[in-house]
Amino acid sequence: MANEEAVVYRALADASLRAGLLAFMADIAARPSACVPDGSVVVTAVNTAHAPLLHAQVATLPQCFRRRYGALCFGEARGWPAGASCSHWPAQRTGHRLSYEVFTWLKWELIHLALLATGVRTVLWTDCDVAVLRNPFGIAVRGFGVPGGAAADLTHQTNAMHRDLNTGVMLVRSESLVRHVLIKSRWWAPGRSRDLEQVVVERLVSGNWSLAKVPYKTFASYCWLRVRPDENVSRYAKALLCLPSTLHANCLSSTAEKLGVMQAAQARFRERCGSPRFALALTPSLSPVISFDHEHSPYARY
């Protein structure tokens, strides 16, 4: 078992930590909101190095959206934005600085815990390097279901025009899908696939659950929609800038670059498109709430 993955996995399997996170998610779900549908929460995870990205992400969000937003914050309870609710996990709890690879798998553990929490039926996951330009619930819920009108189990961002799964922005409604990913990926075990997390996930869920690919112009990617603070916006970007609800600052490596792109996208959106409306979100079709029993495996009911 790879050491870092093993330590994180064992910590997440600890009943007291899981109970705390379940209560944290349930508390967020119970908060009233005019712009996040009932039974829905917004979730992310962030370390201290990426705290500026979380600051930028929540800075322009209205209170009705922020009160349903919960972040697992790796570090002591200081220096985090007041607009986001943090469940703090001090770094010494693992003894490691979490790698990018572990962080990509950690999102599935958090989404699973959120879906097991009382009152939670839908989870919107956003990586911390995603700029929220307008309410993603209205876009993700309306018009991106499956044949017959049902809501998809997983509504997700795509990797630009290639249309494959990008897990930077996802609306997840199926606890069984997430549980399947965690069981079959064995992300913490030796000998597992070393493919990118999103490649493994797409392989595991395709054909077994209903997936809805949100157009790349709606859950946008910096890989193709280039908005930088130090450059004029291209004619191409100007024509598309008012379409996305989110802009994922991927295809960039440094925190400073990601931060600059997020802030530039937020500012240019407001300048060109006006103040976004967040209120009056639609209520998604919801899957049943699954209860959790701490005496059994971390992945209940398998």
The tens digit of pLDDT for each residue in 139-175 reads 545 444 444 446 889 998 887 656 788 999 999 999 9
Domains and CATH numbers, the chain: 3-128+144-216 (3.90.550)
Residue 160 pLDDT: 62
What is the C-alpha to C-alpha distance for residues 178 and 199, in angstroms, rounded to an integer? 15
What is the C-alpha to C-alpha distance for residues 227 and 221, in angstroms, rounded to an integer? 10
What is the C-alpha to C-alpha distance for residues 153 and 106, in angstroms, rounded to an integer? 20
Q: Is 210 helix (H, G, I), strand (E, B) or coil?
A: coil
| Token reading at 4 | 């870092």
| Token reading at 102 | 């572990």
pTM of this structure:
0.86
The tens digit of pLDDT for each residue in 49-67 reads 888 999 999 999 999 999 9
Nearest to 98 by CA among 221, 201, 11, 29: 11
The tens digit of pLDDT for each residue in 35-47 reads 999 999 999 998 8
End-to-end CA separation in angstroms for the chain? 22
